[in-house]
C-alpha cells in the first residue's frame, strides 16, 4: 500500500508540474500575443535614447543561436534595425540626444562602422551624443569616438593599444593525447589547418594576417582621428606606448572629454536639454525604440527586393539560427526564385565559410535565380571569406566595406586519427575485416592511419574542389582561372584590397547593395522582404518548452550564459565535429582586438 501511495503521489506531482508548465507557456504566449496589439510606447518630450550594446549584434534581428531559457525572452536586435532606428531618432522631436552605453560590446569592424555612420547622421540634426562606459574595449571605443562627448569612469579606462591577432594552436596537445590530424589542403596561404599541424603561424600566413589587420587598424585610427581631431600619427604613438594608463590620461591625450561618474553624465545631459538639476531625465530604451521604428512596407507596391541574410558557419543539412544550412537556404532561395513579386535579390553575407558542398548547393540556387532574369547583388558584412566568398561569387555585383575580411579562396580536408589515444592511453584496440582497400571509408575510419591510396584520393579530391572553387569565381568575376589563382591560394584580403584585385566590384553598405539591385531591376518603387523568417524570442522559448526545437543544446546554453568568453571555443569544437568532406572555411578563431 505504501508503494501505491508513493507512485500515486509521484504521478500526481508529475501531472501538476506538466500542467504548471503548460500554464506558464500559454501565459507567456498570451502576454506576447496581447502585447502585439498594444500600441508601442512612445518617447516622452525631452527624452534621451539610451543605446546599450552589451550583447551580440547579428545582421538579422533574433537570427542568433539562443540556448538560454527565460520567462522574459528579449529580442536580439540586428545591426540594420539598430541603425535605422538611430536615423529615425534624428527626426523625432521627443528625442533630444543619445547616450551610448557599451561596456560589453560584441561587434565586428563593419558592424561598428555601420552604427557609427548612423550616429554621425544623427549628429547632423544638431542633437547631442554622449558616450559612457565603465571600461571601453577598443571596439567599444571605436564606436564611442563618434560621440560629441566621451565620459570615462574614475576607476575605469580605455583599452587603446593597437590591433593583435591571437590564434590558438592545438598540435602539441593533440600529440600528447595521441591524436594525429590527417590534413590535405590547397592554397599556400590557406592557414585554416595550421593550428592542427604547426606550433606557430607559417611565414605566409603571418604575412597575410599582418596585411589585413593593418588595413583594419588604419581604418580604425582614421575614424577616431576624424572624430576626435587627433592626428593618426599621434594616435598610433599613444597606442604603441600604451599612454592611456589612467582615466585622466584619456582626457589629457584628447581621447575623452571628462572623467565622471554616471550621475555626472546624467547631469551633463540635463544641461544639454536645458533641464534643472531637480528635473527628471526621461530615458528611452533602444529595444522599445526599435520596436516602434521598423521599416514599413507600402502594400500598394507589389514589386519586391528579397534580402537574404547568410550569417554564421555554412553547414550541410538543417541548422540552428545563426548558421547557414544548405537545406534551409536552398529551399528559401528556390521559394524566392519562384515568387513573381521578387524582382531582385540581395544576399548579405557575414560568414567565414564552412562545407564546400553546402556552399556549392547555395551557389547553384543563386545561379538559377540569375538564369531566371532576376539580378543578384552580394553585400558583405564583417567577414565574407572562403565558403562565404564562394556563395557571393554567384552575384552579378559584389559590394563590400573597406574593412570587410574576404577572399580565403582555398579548401582543405581534415580527418583525425585517434588510434594512438585509444590504444596507448585507454587500452582499447581495434581490428577490422575489409572486402576492399577502402571499405572502412575515407572519412569514417578515425582509428587508423591513412594508407597510400586513401591519401592519394583525399589529396586529389581536395585539389579538385579547389579547382572547382577557382572556376566558380572565374565565371562569376569574369576573370581567367589563372588570374583568380593569383589572388586566391587561401589568401585573406581586406575589402579595400579586394576591390583592387578584382574580387569586389564596389565599396558600400547594404543600402548601397539594395540601391544597385533596384537599378539592375529597373525599379523605382519596391518593398524589401527580409529572409530567413525568424520567430520572436517568445515563440522560440515556447518551441523549446514544447519540444518542437529538437536541435536545442542545453550545454551550449550553460556555457554561453556562465562562461561567455569560452563559448566561441566550444562552438568551434562542435562545428569541427560536424565537418565532413572538403571544407571552404576559416576554422580557427582569429581574435583581432
Is the pLDDT at 542 greater than 70? The verdict is no
Number of domains in the chain: 2
Give CB contacts under 8 A, 24+ apart, made by 278-285: 281/46, 281/48, 282/43, 282/44, 282/45, 282/46, 282/47, 282/48, 283/47, 283/48, 283/50, 283/99, 284/43, 284/44, 284/47, 284/48, 284/49, 284/50, 284/94, 284/95, 285/50, 285/52
pLDDT reported for residue 441:
72
**Torsion sign across C-alpha atoms 380, 163, 496, 87:** positive
Both 255 and 357 in one domain: the answer is: no
**CATH number of the CATH domain containing 484:** 3.90.226.10
> Would you place residue 585 in the very low, low, confident or very high pLDDT band (cuts 50, 70, 90)?
low
> Would you place residue 150 in the very low, low, confident or very high pLDDT band (cuts 50, 70, 90)?
very high
Both 394 and 483 in one domain: the answer is: yes
pLDDT mean over 128-149? 93
pLDDT reported for residue 550:
45
Is the pLDDT at 373 greater than 90? The verdict is yes
Q: 554: domain range? A: 304-414+430-587
Both 288 and 310 in one domain: the answer is: no
Both 454 and 317 in one domain: the answer is: yes
**Which of 20-34, 454-468, 543-557 has the least mean pLDDT?**
20-34
Return the top range by mean pLDDT from 2-6, 108-112, 360-364: 360-364
Whether 13 is covered by a domain: the verdict is no
SS3 276: coil
pLDDT reported for residue 21:
46
By the 10 Å C-beta count (0-12 exposed, 13-18 middle, 19+ buried), 105 is classed as buried
Here the cell at position 118 is: 548612423
pLDDT digits (tens, 9 = 90+) for 162-184: 998 888 898 899 888 888 888 88
- Strand-strand pairing, 128-136 and 527-531: unpaired
pLDDT mean over 471-494? 92
pLDDT mean over 123-127? 93
Both 287 and 382 in one domain: the answer is: no
pLDDT reported for residue 509:
94
**Phi and psi at residue 231, to the nearest 5°:** -60, 140
Both 410 and 468 in one domain: the answer is: yes
**Which of 240-244, 348-352, 447-451, 484-488 has the least mean pLDDT?**
447-451
Give kind and range of the element (H or E) at residue 477: helix 452-477
> Would you place residue 185 in the very low, low, confident or very high pLDDT band (cuts 50, 70, 90)?
confident
pLDDT reported for residue 450:
82
Whether 579 is covered by a domain: the verdict is yes
Strand partners, 347: 308, 378
Here the cell at position 264 is: 555626472
Instruction: Look at residues 292, 315, 349 and tell me which one is the last residue of a structural domain.
Output: 292
pLDDT reported for residue 67:
54
**Which of 47-51, 54-58, 124-128 has the least mean pLDDT?**
54-58
Whole-angstrom Cα distance, residue 316 to residue 585?
13
pLDDT reported for residue 97:
92
pLDDT mean over 339-357? 93
pLDDT reported for residue 576:
56
pLDDT reported for residue 35:
42
Both 265 and 350 in one domain: the answer is: no
Instruction: Look at residues 233, 266, 292 and tell me which one is the last residue of a structural domain.
Output: 292
Percentage of residues in the chain having pLDDT higher than 70: 81
- Among the listed residues 83, 386, 408, 556, the single catalytic one is 386
pLDDT digits (tens, 9 = 90+) for 23-42: 444 444 444 444 443 445 67
351 is catalytic: no
DSSP letters, 411-467, are EEEEEEE-HHIIIIIS--------SSTTTT-SSS--SSPPPHHHHHHHHHHHHHHHH
Whether 60 is covered by a domain: the verdict is yes
pLDDT reported for residue 285:
87
pLDDT reported for residue 37:
38
pLDDT reported for residue 65:
72
Is the pLDDT at 330 greater than 60? The verdict is yes
> Would you place residue 429 in the very low, low, confident or very high pLDDT band (cuts 50, 70, 90)?
confident
**Which of 371-380, 458-467, 576-585 has the least mean pLDDT?**
576-585
Both 316 and 441 in one domain: the answer is: yes
pLDDT mean over 194-211? 88
Is the pLDDT at 17 greater than 70? The verdict is no
pLDDT mean over 203-221? 91
Both 281 and 393 in one domain: the answer is: no
pLDDT mean over 51-70? 77
Is the pLDDT at 436 greater than 80? The verdict is no
How many other C-beta atoms can be found within 10 angstroms of the C-beta atom of residue 309? 25
- Strand-strand pairing, 304-311 and 527-531: parallel
> Would you place residue 15 in the very low, low, confident or very high pLDDT band (cuts 50, 70, 90)?
very low
**Which of 49-53, 180-184, 330-334, 502-506 has the least mean pLDDT?**
180-184
pLDDT mean over 150-157? 94
Is the pLDDT at 438 greater than 80? The verdict is no
Q: Which of 406, 382, 392 is nearest to 212 (CA)?
A: 406
Mean pLDDT of the chain: 83
Both 363 and 278 in one domain: the answer is: no
The sheet carrying 314-315 orders its strands as 180-186, 411-417, 583-585, 353-355, 314-315, 324-325
Contacts of 495 (CB under 8 A, 6+ apart): 380, 400, 401, 402, 403, 404, 405, 406, 504, 507
> Would you place residue 366 in the very low, low, confident or very high pLDDT band (cuts 50, 70, 90)?
very high
- Among the listed residues 123, 127, 190, 497, the single catalytic one is 190
**Which of 19-33, 179-193, 439-453, 544-558 has the least mean pLDDT?**
19-33
Whether 84 is covered by a domain: the verdict is yes
Whole-angstrom Cα distance, residue 441 to residue 356?
19
> Would you place residue 277 in the very low, low, confident or very high pLDDT band (cuts 50, 70, 90)?
confident
Both 333 and 472 in one domain: the answer is: yes
pLDDT reported for residue 122:
93
How many Å separate Cα 472 from the centre of its chain?
25
pLDDT reported for residue 548:
52
Return the top range by mean pLDDT from 14-18, 120-124, 189-193: 120-124
Buried b (16+ CB within 10 A) or exposed e, 8-46: eeeeeeeeeeeeeeeeebeebeeebeeeeeeeeeebeeb
Whether 195 is covered by a domain: the verdict is no
Both 273 and 335 in one domain: the answer is: no
Whether 434 is covered by a domain: the verdict is yes
> Would you place residue 551 in the very low, low, confident or very high pLDDT band (cuts 50, 70, 90)?
very low
- pTM of the model as a whole: 0.84
Question: CA–CA distance from 84 to each of 33, 369, 398, 582 (Å)?
Answer: 25, 29, 23, 39
Whether 167 is covered by a domain: the verdict is no
SS3 261: coil
Strand partners, 128: 97
pLDDT reported for residue 26:
44
Instruction: Look at residues 232, 262, 292 and tell me which one is the last residue of a structural domain.
Output: 292
pLDDT mean over 342-351? 95
Is the pLDDT at 572 greater than 60? The verdict is no
pLDDT mean over 551-556? 49
User: Among all chains, which residue has been given the C-alpha cell 562545428?
Assistant: 575
Whether 542 is covered by a domain: the verdict is yes
pLDDT mean over 392-414? 92
Question: In this structure, are residues 385 and 355 in contact, taking their beta carbons and an 8 Å threshold?
Answer: no
pLDDT reported for residue 32:
44
227 is catalytic: no
How many other C-beta atoms can be found within 10 angstroms of the C-beta atom of residue 176? 10
pLDDT reported for residue 20:
47
Amino acid at each position: 500500500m505504501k508503494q501505491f501511495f508513493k507512485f500515486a503521489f509521484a504521478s500526481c506531482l508529475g501531472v501538476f508540474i506538466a500542467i504548471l508548465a503548460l500554464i506558464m507557456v500559454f501565459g507567456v504566449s498570451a502576454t506576447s500575443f496581447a502585447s502585439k496589439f498594444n500600441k508601442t510606447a512612445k518617447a516622452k518630450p525631452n527624452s534621451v535614447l539610451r543605446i546599450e550594446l552589451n550583447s551580440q549584434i547579428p545582421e538579422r534581428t533574433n537570427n542568433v543561436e539562443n540556448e538560454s531559457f527565460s520567462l522574459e525572452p528579449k529580442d536580439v536586435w540586428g545591426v540594420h534595425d539598430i541603425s535605422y532606428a538611430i536615423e529615425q531618432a534624428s527626426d523625432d522631436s521627443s528625442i533630444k540626444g543619445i547616450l551610448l552605453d557599451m561596456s560589453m560590446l560584441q561587434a565586428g569592424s563593419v558592424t561598428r562602422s555601420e552604427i557609427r555612420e548612423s550616429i554621425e547622421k544623427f549628429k547632423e540634426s544638431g542633437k547631442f551624443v554622449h558616450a559612457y562606459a565603465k571600461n571601453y574595449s577598443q571596439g567599444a571605443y571605436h564606436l564611442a569616438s563618434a560621440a560629441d562627448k566621451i565620459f570615462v569612469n574614475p576607476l575605469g579606462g580605455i583599452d587603446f593599444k593597437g590591433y593583435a591577432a591571437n590564434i590558438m594552436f592545438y598540435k602539441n596537445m593533440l600529440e600528447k593525447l595521441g591524436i594525429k590530424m590527417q590534413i590535405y589542403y590547397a592554397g599556400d596561404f590557406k592557414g585554416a589547418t595550421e593550428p592542427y599541424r604547426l606550433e606557430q603561424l607559417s611565414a605566409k600566413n603571418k604575412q597575410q594576417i599582418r596585411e589585413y589587420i593593418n588595413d583594419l587598424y588604419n581604418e580604425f585610427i582614421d575614424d577616431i582621428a576624424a572624430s576626435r581631431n587627433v592626428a593618426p600619427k599621434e594616435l598610433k604613438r599613444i597606442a604603441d606606448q600604451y599612454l592611456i594608463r589612467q582615466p585622466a590620461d584619456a582626457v589629457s591625450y584628447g581621447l575623452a572629454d571628462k572623467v565622471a561618474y554616471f550621475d555626472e553624465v546624467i547631469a551633463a545631459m540635463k544641461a544639454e536639454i536645458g533641464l534643472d538639476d531637480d528635473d527628471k531625465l526621461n530615458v528611452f530604451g533602444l529595444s522599445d525604440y526599435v520596436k516602434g521604428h521598423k521599416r514599413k512596407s507600402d502594400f500598394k507596391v507589389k514589386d519586391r527586393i528579397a534580402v537574404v541574410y547568410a550569417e554564421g558557419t555554412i553547414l550541410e543539412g538543417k541548422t540552428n539560427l545563426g548558421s547557414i544550412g544548405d537545406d534551409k537556404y536552398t529551399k528559401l532561395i528556390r521559394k524566392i526564385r519562384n515568387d513573381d513579386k521578387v524582382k531582385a535579390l540581395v544576399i548579405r553575407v557575414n560568414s567565414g565559410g564552412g562545407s564546400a558542398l553546402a556552399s556549392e548547393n547555395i551557389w547553384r540556387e543563386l545561379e538559377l535565380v540569375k538564369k531566371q532574369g532576376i539580378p543578384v547583388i552580394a553585400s558583405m558584412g564583417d567577414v565574407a571569406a572562403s565558403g562565404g566568398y564562394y556563395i557571393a561569387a554567384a552575384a552579378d555585383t559584389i559590394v563590400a566595406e573597406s574593412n570587410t575580411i574576404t577572399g580565403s579562396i582555398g579548401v582543405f580536408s581534415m580527418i583525425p586519427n585517434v588510434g594512438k589515444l585509444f590504444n596507448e592511453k585507454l587500452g582499447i584496440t581495434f581490428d577490422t575485416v575489409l572486402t576492399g582497400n577502402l571499405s572502412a571509408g575515407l572519412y569514417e575510419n578515425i582509428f587508423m592511419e591513412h594508407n597510400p591510396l586513401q591519401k592519394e584520393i583525399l589529396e586529389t579530391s581536395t585539389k579538385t574542389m579547389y579547382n572547382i572553387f577557382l572556376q566558380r569565381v572565374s565565371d562569376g568575376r569574369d576573370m581567367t582561372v589563372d588570374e583568380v589563382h593569383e589572388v586566391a591560394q587561401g589568401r585573406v584580403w581586406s575589402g579595400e584590397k579586394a576591390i583592387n584585385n578584382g574580387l569586389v566590384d564596389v565599396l558600400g553598405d547594404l543600402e548601397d547593395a539594395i540601391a544597385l539591385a533596384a537599378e539592375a531591376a529597373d525599379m523605382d518603387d519596391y518593398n524589401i522582404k527580409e529572409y530567413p523568417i525568424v520567430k520572436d524570442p517568445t515563440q522560440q522559448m515556447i518551441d523549446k518548452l514544447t519540444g518542437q526545437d529538437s536541435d536545442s543544446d542545453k550545454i551550449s546554453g550553460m556555457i554561453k550564459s556562465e562562461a561567455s568568453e569560452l563559448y566561441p571555443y566550444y562552438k568551434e569544437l562542435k562545428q569541427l565535429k560536424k565537418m565532413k568532406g572538403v571544407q571552404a572555411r576559416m576554422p580557427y578563431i582569429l581574435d583581432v582586438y
